[in-house]
A and B are shown apart, each in its own frame.
Chain A
């Protein structure tokens, strides 16, 4: 499962195919199971969003696919880029794939770029790593890329150092690096989290441009549902290292079938709804991945939790067409809104009681 599968023909219709990926980290306190069996398929040109809280394992998944996890990480399962297995490859093999067939955009633009080299040098380097071209050609391409992602004065900026650019511009440089060699898959790991809201839109726009230029499929990882809306075709929701729901963007937003998804939607301030609704926070915190109790990991925070939930972890099963959810009671959630399920109140039980008294 983890040997380089060079004999299989490149499957151009499925640029990224992840099957039962698990990642565990040995630590002083024990084994942390960060990813516990994740599968998804990306079709050519498609945009997939992976949503989840911090610690849900979404970034680790991306790192695993790219082969960027430390050597101590224990990885099983399969991740195929254009039919080629990326797990367990040696340095030479994985380096040929990274930056060429699959590219990664990091979260923090302030630390993603090396401070001692110019932006142009770092861009040219990405090209020269995979193509045997002359330096001038690589630098021309660098200026061209800067222009595509919307950086003004590309010919000048090519000689700038990263610290001379703003956060938003730096992130656009990172996007330019990602699209430099026309990859088939671009993974964007929380590309807007570290940026101001006003800059987020610009960066997302640059991302769209990159997709349009290269025709690449996109995996957009974020905790922010607002970023997802309008930028992806399909969504996967991750919780405690596993996918708990997946479907088209309409299915997830309008007919969620897993309590966690409902909770996420309820926590999201919506401008598009006529009536003002109370926010419904999900009480409690995500479970420790070190000592995961049996059963559904969301049970301690779930309003629907019953004994069966604490004993058996639900599988991700189809609930309608391409829509799948991992919940024992997913059929109970048809036509349910977040306020039906979660109490729209403060987290403090005392305040809760006081509010009840006041009512």
Chain B
């Protein structure tokens, strides 16, 4: 088992490396960080532009820049991913990308994690119900809801939920906080106030993000559960004289969860996408917001760093899923 885990870890390294090249080249050749500067009215002096170019290492060749970006060797101390520095930002010499990301990381993390957990839990439950009561009214309803959620744009349902919260606050005096991740000034809050404040801000965005993740999973879980319920070993379990509930829980569900492990990794990527949209809708100052801001400013190093970060998260999710897979399915544990 440990060997298996180690092997998967080692296999991830070349992927990470290749991904870094991919991210770097993609952003480097598609954008010009100095575009805004060049098109200022009145146009700046050529020396100003040259200085910015030097600061952003644009006067070096691309391979050189890549190595700089990765290792930081030959730079000014503000670059080098392996040293934990993301590089200089278009926003100005005093702007530290790593600091910004660190500050916003937890904000986005809690949104994504809670939404994912809820989505997985709900999808498993609805998959079981749907499969056990196949072709019933409940099944058709759940299936339709799943289809609907799959067809709905995340930002549309997000906006609807947000405005619904505002409306509900007006009509029923509910306490949904619809703007931002936290109230403006929380320095005086004690632990409990902080908690309720966070929760009030979290509810609606999490609900919106969860729906899109649930959509992707529920159909899959239903199909997986159906396949398992019709399998020979479930039939044998019944033939042994086990009660239906035990058969579903102990035999069907356990095996139906296995493919979930592989789908979850894809799900994480989709949820990152969704988080970007939801943060925009609810005006959260999280990582997604930072990403969009960086893109509109053509801040190459921020965007590259963000791409790498999301890639690392997806790879990590893949690894966790692989390990989970091995725990759940003894067939792949050895080798």
Contact = CB atoms under 8 A, between A and B. Distances in A.
A161 interface: yes
B328 A98 contact: no
Most buried by A among B232, B241, B258: B241
B233 interface: yes
A111 B251 CA distance: 13
A251 interface: no
Most buried by B among A91, A95, A106, A108: A95
Nearest to B244: A91
Nearest to B135: A72
Contact of A68 (B239, B258, B329): B239
Contacts of A108: 232
Interface stretch (A123-131, A233-241, A264-272, A341-349): A123-131
B254 interface: yes
A104 B235 CA distance: 10
Contact of B236 (A96, A115, A177): A177
Nearest to A113: B233
B244 A174 contact: no
B241 A97 contact: yes
Given A113-B233, A114-B233, A177 B240 contact: yes
Nearest to A121: B250
Nearest to A177: B240
Contacts of A288: none
A94 to B, nearest CB: 8
Contacts of A95: 238, 241-244
A115 B241 contact: no
B331 interface: yes
B329 A115 contact: yes
Contact of B232 (A96, A100, A111): A111
Contacts of B254: 114, 116
B231 to A, nearest CB: 7
Nearest to B233: A114
A177 B233 CA distance: 12
B71 interface: no
A116 B240 contact: no
Most buried by A among B231, B237, B258: B237
B195 to A, nearest CB: 39
Interface string A73-108: 000000000000000000110011111100110101
Contacts of A177: 236, 240
Contacts of A114: 233-234, 236-237, 251, 254-255
B94 interface: no
A137 interface: no
B328 A116 contact: yes
Contacts of B239: 66, 68, 98-99, 103-104, 106
Nearest to B255: A116
B330 interface: yes
A123 to B, nearest CB: 10
A129 B330 contact: no
Contacts of B234: 114
A38 to B, nearest CB: 20
A163 interface: yes
Given A112-B233, A113-B233, A161-B330, A129 B238 contact: no
Contacts of B243: 91-92, 95
Contacts of A97: 241
Interface in B203-243: 231-243
Contacts of B242: 95, 99, 125, 129
A125 B236 CA distance: 12
Most buried by A among B240, B243, B255: B240
B235 A116 contact: no
Nearest to A66: B239
Contacts of A115: 233, 255, 329-331
A193 B329 CA distance: 28
A116 B258 CA distance: 10
Contacts of A161: 330-331
5 closest residue pairs by CB, A with B: A99-B241, A111-B232, A99-B240, A98-B241, A114-B233
Given A98-B241, A129-B241, A161-B330, 18 more contacts: A91-B243, A91-B244, A95-B242, A95-B244, A97-B241, A98-B238, A98-B239, A106-B235, A111-B231, A111-B232, A112-B232, A112-B233, A114-B236, A114-B251, A114-B255, A116-B329, A129-B240, A129-B242
26 contacts: A68-B235, A68-B238, A91-B244, A95-B242, A99-B239, A99-B240, A99-B241, A99-B242, A104-B239, A106-B235, A106-B236, A106-B239, A111-B231, A111-B232, A112-B233, A113-B233, A113-B236, A114-B233, A114-B236, A115-B255, A115-B330, A125-B240, A129-B241, A163-B331, A177-B236, A177-B240
